[in-house]
Amino acid sequence: MSETVIEISGVSKTYEGNKLAVDNVSLSVAKGEFLTIIGPSGCGKTTLLRLINGLVDFDSGDILIMNRQFHSWDKVQLRRSIGYVIQSAGLFPHLSVKQNMQFVMSISGIDEAIQEKRAHELAQMIEFGDSQLNEFPENLSGGQQQRVGVARALAMKPQVMLMDEPLGSLDNVTRRKLQNELLNIHQKSGTTFVMVTHDLREAFTLGTRVAIMNKGRIEQCDTPEIIRGNPANEWVSQFVMEY
């Protein structure tokens, strides 16, 4: 039996103004999975990630994260236990690559020798040389910034990595390269990955399972093979036809 890391049961989220962003979603994510989430713009993908991360609260249903009920988590601690990567990388501009990677470790009071060792491990993981550790974000390419964003999110060895269109702003060549790196990092780290993408090919090549969302609901969540061979309904069938 595989261990469940995230268990979402019948969760709905309405924003102010009565906008139903997530509509009765149930989803369980097993340890070590690489789950990709795809669907039209505005269908609730980002909201779903933000729910898992404790950045927004839900109206109904329940969420268990790492076997702990959502509301019993200290939200700061929850966010430090989960890696989060967004499209714009969001690096601290006044901090070097190394300082960016060490930021959460340093505010968590981790021993400096351990921080140092971890920064070098992370650099190796994203194929950065030691001299690049002292660069500042403005001197890095978009692809390099995203790599550092991923490394920073992995610094505390989180059990779960949430990524919201992390490769969305990159050109095709860089994106393909980073897709492969993400697969490698996923394998090496053993961390559970949940990644939103708007690229069907990316969703199907990286995901061990793919969740297809539409209008706040998950239309289907299955392996790429099952979705292709057995789409749950006409909408899914149309949606994946492009692939």
Residues of this chain that bind ligand ADP (CB under 6 A): 15, 19, 21, 41-47
C-beta of 44: minimal distance to ligand ADP in Å?
Answer: 4
Which class for 131: exposed (0-12), middle (13-18), buried (19 or more C-beta within 10 A)? exposed
C-beta of 97: minimal distance to ligand ADP in Å?
Answer: 28
Task: Kindly identify the residues of this chain, within the stretch 9-68, that bind Mg ion according to CB under 5 A.
Answer: 46
- Name which of 128 and 204 has its Cβ closer to ligand ADP: 204
- Name which of 46 and 81 has its Cβ closer to Mg ion: 46
- Name which of 29 and 38 has its Cβ closer to Mg ion: 38
Tell me the three state secondary structure of residue 171.
Answer: coil
C-beta of 120: minimal distance to ligand ADP in Å?
Answer: 35
d(CA 221, CA 29): 10
C-beta of 90: minimal distance to ligand ADP in Å?
Answer: 16
**Do the bridges between strand 4-15 and strand 60-65 make them parallel or antiparallel, or are there none, so unpaired?**
antiparallel
| DSSP assignment of 23-52 | EEEEEEEETT-EEEEE-STTSSHHHHHHHH
Of all residues in this chain, which one has the CB nearest to Mg ion in the complex? 46
10 binds, among Mg ion, ligand ADP, none (CB under 5 to 8 A by kind): none
What is the Rg, in whole angstroms, of the alpha carbon atoms belonging to the chain?
18
38 binds, among ligand ADP, Mg ion, none (CB under 5 to 8 A by kind): none
43 binds, among ligand ADP, Mg ion, none (CB under 5 to 8 A by kind): ligand ADP
Phi (first) and psi of residue 167, to 5 degrees? -105, 10
- Name which of 86 and 236 has its Cβ closer to Mg ion: 86
Cα dihedral 144, 197, 18, 57 sign: negative
- DSSP class of residue 175 equals H
| Interface ranges with Mg ion (CB under 5 A) | 46
